[in-house]
Structure 1
Amino acid sequence: MQKPVVAIVGRPNVGKSTLVNRLAVSREAIVHESRGVTRDRSYHDCDWNGREFTLIDTGGIESVHSKDVFAPRIREQALVACDEADAIVFVVDGSVGVTDEDEEVARVVRASKKPVFLVVNKIDNPEAQLDSWNYYSLGVGEPQALSASHGHGTGDLLDEVIAALPADDGYEEPADDGALNVAIIGRPNVGKSSLANRLAKRERFIVADLAGTTRDATDTLISWKDNLIRLVDTAGMRKKTQVHEDVEYYSLVRGLQAMDRADVCLLVVDSTVGVTEQDQKLMGMAVDRGCAIVIVLNKWDLIDTDEKRDRVMASLGQRMSFASWAPSVNISALTGRSTDRVLAAALRVAQNHSQQIKTPQLNNLITQVRESGHTVTSKNRRLKINYGTQTGSKPPVFSFWCNAPDLIDDNYERFLENRLRATFDLEGTPIRLRFRRKDESK
């Protein structure tokens, strides 16, 4: 049996994400005083008195006549959350009272036929008397005063929510579901959410022709050729000097956190622009974090001449020369062209990322390197590598025992890495080299 699901809904800026963070005892949901910070729905684990369930944070539901370009898609995401939920927490702003937008949300939740809990948020003084009659007009039951920012009333709310959830027949979920974590990263408006929707084969992520559509890092599980894959769509990462809003700063942090837990990063590049300096920096971040990487050249259907193709590939070779081992895939997320190749490449590099090369194979390579005579010398000292072994994976770490580790320079490290890559299949994964004196045991 799966965990029960509770959806948090309401109009914009009533404190839904603050409540999610309070109930889930986390800081996962981005909170800001601006309207419309949350757009895609996001999922958060919650536990109350030993009863586990999942919270869904949703974007603010606005009037169908709203001029906000994102409003229809945010509304659609919230409706999906209501359909998925076993119970709904409807949040209104107690400092404002009932608005027309609240009435709009009330119509949505009444149509869901699910248990609904009306929460009047921002009642920060627990001694304050709530004018309940004003909220009965919404027609969704007894209003309950609460302060998400201070925590007043959250315990009573959770008691009532737990009582309304389906009976606990005993469900077991493994701590690790074995899914491959794939983070989709890139600059704003390069097609990350379009690619995520195409791979998930449903409209899971909001897409618009505006930079900054995605703010949170949002997960979805898919199955592809019997492989379980967790896709994480991240906010577009700008240069730090261009991150002006608090919301963008938190989006950047969420994106970096997604990279930290990813096995594979899909770096999405706009082919019509070519590989930029910011793409190069994002690649460097992924390499530093030890992720396997696939470069996804999106909007390839718009590259209609050989000259344009040559220009894109030249920018790829120039900007990504430090990670020439990363494969690239030409796709169109809009039309779906070659998108299956993205998942095939992700699985291939993930296998290389986690592989374990046998010590005899590695020492055969060391013997060949030694016999070739390529080494480092300085003041009558000569480097000699005695043996090596793989001491880590994700990414692969190779440790070499030698007579003089201090002689090893960047040129020799690059030489040895190139020999490793020429001998073993390490496509798509960074590697780490460690050099130790031969009398060191570890």
Structure 2
Amino acid sequence: MPNPVVAIVGRPNVGKSTIFNRLAGERISIVEDIPGVTRDRIYAKGEWLGRTFDIIDTGGIDIKDEPFMSQIKLQAQVAMEEADVIIFITSVREGVTQGDEHVARILYQSGKPVILAVNKADNPEMRAEVFDFYSLGLGDPYPISGSHGLGLGDMLDAVIAEFPSADELEKEEDVINFSLIGRPNVGKSSLVNAILGEERVIVSDIAGTTRDAVDTSFEDEEGVKYRMIDTAGIRKKGKVSESTEKFSVMRALRAVDRSDVVLMVLNAEEGIQEQDKKVAGYAHEAGKGIIIIVNKWDKIEKDTHTMKQFEEEIRDEFQYLSYAPILYVSALTKQRLVQIPEKIKEVSDSQNQRISSSLLNDVLMDAIARNPTPTDKGRRLKIYYITQVGVKPPTFVLFVNDPELLHFSYERFLENQIRNAFSFPGTPFRLIARKKK
């Protein structure tokens, strides 16, 4: 279930980063940090009263050579595009400023829920001065102190009261969620249009959890339902999305979180870049199904070895994605596009594949007979039993005498034996060693 998104907005020097770090440091476990443009991070995962959410610190989105007002406007636009709820930070020490009124006007037009927080209200006298902030027309101002951690609970109560309900987020029918991930100019939007144009019926455009992220649903001829995640982020090349590469990475990671299968789109003319590795690594760690799509294949001068050489380069750069199938396509000439939905279905089936314990243990016994378990300091690893405990990604538990005796190289050997026996195309899987009680 995808997390709601909370954005922190406000003019400079009101304490946005202090609030962000408070939330991130005290009650919030940071799962993934992405370097911001001017500061260390602009994205963290958070939790309050059992509800998890993602936080964007728009203060990290700082564009050089931008005038003050347009910089604030850009940050507010980022929040409006991405967030389910916006926390607008002001400062009681300066009172209501022209900059605050400017931000309030932008946020007021967004239609998103806005929680007005008045920072630096460190003592009762200052807390009495927050009433001036009613003039911004954004409802009750919440007095807080980022430096002392005061008032944050009331503010977060107001934030989670605005989240979409768990029921709204859980409306998941039998559908395969997939997203196209890749840098600008790899041809994602033309691929989206080509996939949807392949005699497919677009059932509906439905709003995703972030209220401006549009998901596009369609069915194939056999009635299999697909949902393409966040096509809005791909189709509309807005100022906001292009203004910072870090922000586009963040949007891509959110799309990965909401997907079952991720299409990693590369540009055949440009090859593999660092940002491709970052997003692919995130998808792999998150246990998502992965298909590598090499687009603009029609633009490459080819001989009999071109495809083999390109595959070798991909396998070398993405060594941990050895299981991911590669498709060489062209959105322009429609080359091999018909294979994409078929491959998504295959990888989705692989993600949901369950293997009986008896078959798994047959494979395990054969593997141990072929390559006996290792010893460490005179102690031999004993593996008693293997069973599958989950899907998406497929997860297996090995019951052993001592998990520390399972060396990385032997774990890799066992993974390869399971793959050889049951395939699992396009999906990572997890092997967990547990001490037998």
TM class by shorter chain equals: 0.5 to 0.7
Equivalent in the alignment of 2:146: 148
Q: 1:133 to 1:335 in 2, by over 3 A?
A: farther
For residue 273 of structure 1, report the CA deviation from its aligned partner. 3.8
- Which structure would you say has the larger Rg? 1
Whole-angstrom distance in 1 between the partners of 2:99 and 2:385: 66
Show the 5 A alignment for 1:177-188: none
Equivalent in the alignment of 1:291: 287
Partner AA of 2:28 in structure 1: S
Kindly indicate whether residue 230 of structure 2 is the aligned counterpart of residue 200 of structure 1: yes
Equivalent in the alignment of 1:255: none
Secondary structure of 2:118's counterpart equals strand
Equivalent in the alignment of 2:271: 274
Whole-angstrom distance in 2 between the partners of 1:213 and 1:353: 29
Equivalent in the alignment of 2:376: none
Whole-angstrom distance in 2 between the partners of 1:266 and 1:181: 11
Partner AA of 1:79 in structure 2: M
Equivalent in the alignment of 1:300: 296
Q: 1:338 to 1:441 in 2, by over 3 A?
A: same
Q: 1:334 to 1:58 in 2, by over 3 A?
A: farther
Equivalent in the alignment of 2:221: none
- The answer to whether the Cα contact below 8 Å between 2:388 and 2:396 also exists between their aligned partners in 1 is yes
Which runs of 5 or more structure 2 residues have no equivalent in the other structure?
193-212, 215-227, 374-381
Whole-angstrom distance in 2 between the partners of 1:158 and 1:10: 17
- The answer to whether the Cα contact below 8 Å between 1:272 and 1:303 also exists between their aligned partners in 2 is yes
Kindly indicate whether residue 246 of structure 2 is the aligned counterpart of residue 212 of structure 1: yes
- The answer to whether the Cα contact below 8 Å between 2:323 and 2:427 also exists between their aligned partners in 1 is yes
Q: 1:71 to 1:180 in 2, by over 3 A?
A: farther
For residue 153 of structure 1, report the CA deviation from its aligned partner. 3.4
Greater Cα shift, 325-334 or 101-110:
325-334
Whole-angstrom distance in 1 between the partners of 2:365 and 2:28: 52
Whole-angstrom distance in 2 between the partners of 1:376 and 1:73: 60
Equivalent in the alignment of 1:324: 322
For residue 315 of structure 1, report the CA deviation from its aligned partner. 0.8
- The answer to whether the Cα contact below 8 Å between 1:395 and 1:430 also exists between their aligned partners in 2 is yes
Whole-angstrom distance in 2 between the partners of 1:411 and 1:165: 49
Partner AA of 2:100 in structure 1: D
- The answer to whether the Cα contact below 8 Å between 1:8 and 1:89 also exists between their aligned partners in 2 is yes
Greater Cα shift, 416-425 or 337-346:
337-346
Provide, for residues 185-217 of structure 1, a one-character-per-residue CA deviation record: whole Å limited to 9, x for no partner: 88x778699799874222389532854334657
Partner AA of 2:241 in structure 1: V
Instruction: Choose from 25, 28, 40 the match for 1:26.
Output: 28
Provide, for residues 144-198 of structure 1, a one-character-per-residue CA deviation record: whole Å limited to 9, x for no partner: 5421342223455567x48x979x9x96649987798979888x77869979987
Whole-angstrom distance in 1 between the partners of 2:89 and 2:99: 12
Q: 1:142 to 1:267 in 2, by over 3 A?
A: closer
Q: 1:90 to 1:295 in 2, by over 3 A?
A: same
Whole-angstrom distance in 2 between the partners of 1:369 and 1:4: 45
Show the 5 A alignment for 1:363-378: none
Provide, for residues 103-149 of structure 1, a one-character-per-residue CA deviation record: whole Å limited to 9, x for no partner: 22122244467886643323445554776697576455675542134
Provide, for residues 363-417 of structure 1, a one-character-per-residue CA deviation record: whole Å limited to 9, x for no partner: 77689889xx96779xxxxxxx99975455544548699xxxx9x9969975x76
- The answer to whether the Cα contact below 8 Å between 1:265 and 1:292 also exists between their aligned partners in 2 is yes
Q: 1:399 to 1:145 in 2, by over 3 A?
A: closer
Provide, for residues 43-86 of structure 1, a one-character-per-residue CA deviation record: whole Å limited to 9, x for no partner: 96644xx9x797975736999x956998776444433568x66x
Whole-angstrom distance in 2 between the partners of 1:146 and 1:27: 21
Q: 1:31 to 1:138 in 2, by over 3 A?
A: farther
- The answer to whether the Cα contact below 8 Å between 1:325 and 1:428 also exists between their aligned partners in 2 is yes
Equivalent in the alignment of 2:11: 11
RMSD over aligned Cα, in angstroms? 6.4
Equivalent in the alignment of 1:314: 312
Secondary structure of 2:257's counterpart equals strand
For residue 429 of structure 1, report the CA deviation from its aligned partner. 3.3
Secondary structure of 2:28's counterpart equals coil
Equivalent in the alignment of 2:423: 425
Q: 1:200 to 1:116 in 2, by over 3 A?
A: closer
How high is the TM-score relative to the length of structure 1?
Answer: 0.54
Whole-angstrom distance in 2 between the partners of 1:434 and 1:74: 42
Instruction: Choose from 93, 118, 121 the match for 2:119.
Output: 121
Equivalent in the alignment of 1:90: 88
Equivalent in the alignment of 2:257: 232
Partner AA of 2:269 in structure 1: T
- The answer to whether the Cα contact below 8 Å between 1:8 and 1:90 also exists between their aligned partners in 2 is yes
Equivalent in the alignment of 2:204: none
Equivalent in the alignment of 2:79: 78
Of Structure 1 and Structure 2, which has the larger fraction of its residues in helix?
A: 2
- The answer to whether the Cα contact below 8 Å between 2:253 and 2:279 also exists between their aligned partners in 1 is no
